[in-house]
Amino acid sequence: MARRADTARRRLPAVTFSIVGRSPDGRSTGVAVASKFLAVGSAVPAARHGVGAIATQAFANTLYKRDGLALLSDGHSAAEAVDALLRSDEGRESRQVGIVDAAGLAATWTGAECMDWAGGLSGDGYAIQGNILTGADVVTEMQRAWLGSADLRLPERLLGALAAGDLAGGDRRGRQSAALLVVADSGGYTPGDDCAFDLRVDDHADPVAELARLLALHHDYFQAPDESELLPLDGPVGDEVAALLSTVGHPDLDSWAGVQNYELRLRPGRIDPLLLTRLREAAGSQAPQ
């Protein structure tokens, strides 16, 4: 159930709204958050694959991230972890926290001293919470977006819910930063590292939209190409690529792609259409005006 509180603290907490979520198959878990607060991604989200994800906010206790993940690692459910964190925290009534565990169980807490409007909603695989919002419709619209997007990948699903909350009014004090953190069994750059997405907009006039732009760039750089769409590097395509590489001053495709950080899209003897588009854009930008 959503809760609200009218009691204000002398020290103003960061106005924040967030969603913690897990993919239906359990392969990824993460947090999306926005706030009228500098670099919210450094304070609110935490996640570990096979363990769960946490958002700590309002008058945030950032130790909830470390201690909450430890509780989940020890086998506690999301609700049990929230209860344990609150029991040991004298400032619990000024806190907000949302947790989803590895099984997809979720819990959210809003203390009675969080500033109006404050509250949260949780269900199978998600926890949504926000404080100093324009109204309850922020979290209900986030829930609506989440429940209506089960076919999307987790990063897009989390970001879509965040964008719905932002569109519904979001922070009563304005916008400043946003972040997306997703851990997955696919991991990051190094084997054993579970961090699949860690994108942050620390200070921006429209941070949620900027976060969406960064997510699109992340896919461009790091998503494997669709093998069925690759074009053979011979005939007209090969001739065009050779001419474009000459224009941008590179001896071969590997050299240019390495400089542009597109190595993961390279395939021997073939070219990804997105890579070809980017190469055309790079050559076009160097053409005489």
Q: 130: pLDDT confidence band, cut at 50, 70 and 90?
A: very high
pLDDT single digits (tens) 70-79: 999 999 999 9
The rounded percent of the chain whose pLDDT value lies above 90 is 87
Q: What is the mean pLDDT of the chain?
A: 92
Q: Look at residue 1 and tell me whether its pLDDT is greater than 80.
A: no
pLDDT at 144: 98
Over residues 5-11, the mean pLDDT reads 39
Label each residue of the chain as H, E or C: CCCCCCCCCCCCCEEEEEEEEECCCCCEEEEEEEEECCCHHHCCEEEECCCEEEEEEECCCCHHHHHHHHHHHCCCCHHHHHHHHHHCCCCHHHEEEEEEECCCCEEEEECCCCCCCCEEEEECCEEEEEECECCCHHHHHHHHHHHCCCCCCHHHHHHHHHHHHHHCCCECCCCCEEEEEEEECCCCCCCCCCEEEEEEECCCCCHHHHHHHHHHHHHHHHCCCCHHHCEECCHHHHHHHHHHHHHHCCCCHHHHHHHHCCHHHCECCEECHHHHHHHHHHHHHHCCC
End-to-end CA distance of the chain: 61
What is the per-residue pLDDT for 192?
83
pLDDT given at position 132: 94
Provide the pLDDT for residue 171.
85
Question: What are the extents of the domains in the chain?
Answer: 15-222, 227-286
CA distance 134 to 198: 28
Rounded mean pLDDT of 49-74? 97
For residues 203-210, give the mean pLDDT. 97
Structural contact between residues 132 and 15, judged by C-beta atoms closer than 8 angstroms: yes
Tens digits of per-residue pLDDT, 239-282? Answer: 999 999 999 999 999 999 999 999 999 999 999 999 999 999 99
* CATH code assigned to 15-222: 3.60.20.10
- The arithmetic mean of pLDDT across residues 43-60, rounded, is 97
Burial class (CB in 10 A: 0-12, 13-18, 19+), 52: buried
pTM above threshold 0.85: yes
Q: Is the pLDDT of residue 100 over 50?
A: yes
How high is the pLDDT of residue 286? 76
- Where residue 285 falls among pLDDT bands split at 50, 70, 90? confident
* Distance of alpha carbon 26 from alpha carbon 20, whole angstroms: 13
| Parallel/antiparallel/unpaired status of strands 126-131 and 15-22 | antiparallel
Q: Give the neighbor-by-neighbor strand order of the sheet with 126-131.
A: 119-123, 126-131, 15-22, 28-36, 177-184, 195-201
Question: In which band, very low, low, confident or very high, does the pLDDT at 14 lie, cut at 50, 70 and 90?
Answer: low
Arithmetic mean of pLDDT, 86-106: 97
| Each residue's pLDDT tens digit, 210-248 | 999 999 999 999 988 999 999 999 999 999 999 999 999
Residue 122 pLDDT > 80: yes
Model confidence at 190: pLDDT above 90: no
Residues in Cβ contact with 51 at an 8 Å cutoff, skipping those fewer than 6 apart: 69, 72, 73, 101, 102
